[in-house]
Amino acid sequence: MSTRISARELFEQQKEKLALRWLAGQKGASREIEAGDTRSRRPSLAGYLNVIYPNRVQILGTEELAWLDTLDSRQRWETIEKVIDNRPLALVISKNQSCPEDLRAAAEETDTPLWVSPKRGHELFNHLSYHLARTLAPSVTLHGVFMEIYSIGVLITGEAGSGKSELALELLSRGHRLVADDAPEFTQIAPDVLDGTCPELLQDLLEVRGLGVLNVREMFGDTAVKKNKYLRLIVHLTRPMTEPTAHGYERLTGDSGTRHVLDLDVPLITLPVMPGRNLAVLTEAATRLHILRTKGIDPAAMFIARHSNLLERSTP
């Protein structure tokens, strides 16, 4: 399902922050852009007035309006016509400047949204660029419990009934924080960053078998809930059919790997679920181990190196 946003949605989302007012083209409120609209072309999602490579949201600052005033009547109309023909999502005039009547008339006639804001051009550019990039960024919903453990985002996954929610509940009692239960949403906001959030419907809620739905904020306080967090590690719970007989390198390095999420390979650690195992302690240890590995400290590699050096010294 493609990610998209309409002019009306963008206006409502940024109306208060940018103090936007709608001047003309209200009938074009349903005009939309999709995530892939600019992938194969030079224009960006938002930028200053550009006729050659038109941006999806065209910002008209002092310089742009002054440049239009230098054109003769024919060139001016042709320029405005080019801007309108490229069907921008919206035109935005900065610093509450007076809107030229010919621009207002063209926007009204073609149902092109035309807004004005008291903000300066660079402020509009920064806010709109960031907001559109985040809104239209690739996203995916994964099944699991997303938590903040030792300041990093950890997604706990596993089959139904593997104990994800019970583990999350115990981690909450140990001072860690819940981001989302059951269906966290992840958005790739940068080439190497996946930002995880909770759907509004599930905000603050955790479902535990036998107890039903719990309100984590009411039970543990405001500090037990986190609005969003970057995904850095996945802990996958498995239920082995038989007693595990891991040997060799797996005994030393653990069951580690990666899981491909959108365009990123996220580190993954698999923990078998068996009677008598304290999964909360194991998950905390897995998180600490991941933090060490990101710093270049690998206990298994250190042990293997020590063992190799010992063998070399023992060999005559």
- Known catalytic residues? 143, 164, 182, 251
* CA distance linking residue 270 with residue 156, whole number of Å: 10
* CA distance linking residue 48 with residue 55, whole number of Å: 8
HSE-CB of 86 using CA atoms within 13 angstroms: 21
Q: Which of 45, 50, 49 is closest to 128 using CA atoms?
A: 45
Paired residues of 194 in beta bridges: 188
Indicate the pairing of strand 177-182 with strand 193-197.
Answer: unpaired
* CA distance linking residue 80 with residue 91, whole number of Å: 11
* CA distance linking residue 283 with residue 69, whole number of Å: 65
Which of helix, strand or coil describes residue 80? Answer: helix
Could you tell me what percentage of the chain is helix, strand and coil, using 3-state DSSP and rounding each to the nearest 5? Answer: 40, 30, 35
